[in-house]
Homo-oligomer: A and B are copies of this chain.
Amino acid sequence: MKYTTSMNIEIAKEERLAQIFSALGEPNRIKIIKILRDSKRELTCSEISNLLQIAPSTVSYHFKALRKAGLTKTRQEAQTKYLSLNKKTFKKYLPGFLDSL
């Protein structure tokens, strides 16, 4: 069985929230979220790498943290992974935030 955040395996709500806030507690991550919100399409690791001028490996690291926190989703097509927001999580834990960003 694949792990999904909605399975909620005994994580206290404070832990879950802390995980989400930690994932967002870095300026580049906020920028990624903002870019995704404003973009009409999904974005890739290398696109973000170019936009933010940080190494692909660093972007991959941020992507992983955001995904682990349930804030983003990934769609794979060949070698390329397309990132988009997981709006459900924002709605559930940070209602109104995306609009205020």
Tell me what chain A mostly uses at the interface: helix, strand, loop, or mixed: helix
Q: A94-B97, A96-B95 are in contact. Are A25 and B27 (CB under 8 A)?
A: no
Q: A30-B18, A31-B14 are in contact. Are A95 and B93 (CB under 8 A)?
A: no
Q: Size of chain A's interface in residues, with CB distance under 8 A?
A: 25
How often does this chain occur in the complex, in copies? 2
Most buried by B among A23, A25, A34: A25
Q: Is A77 part of the contact surface with B, judged by Cβ < 8 Å?
A: no
Residues of B with C-beta under 8 A to A97: 94-97
Q: Which of A65-101 contact B (CB under 8 A)?
A: 92-97, 100-101
Complex alpha-carbon distance, A27 and B14, angstroms: 5
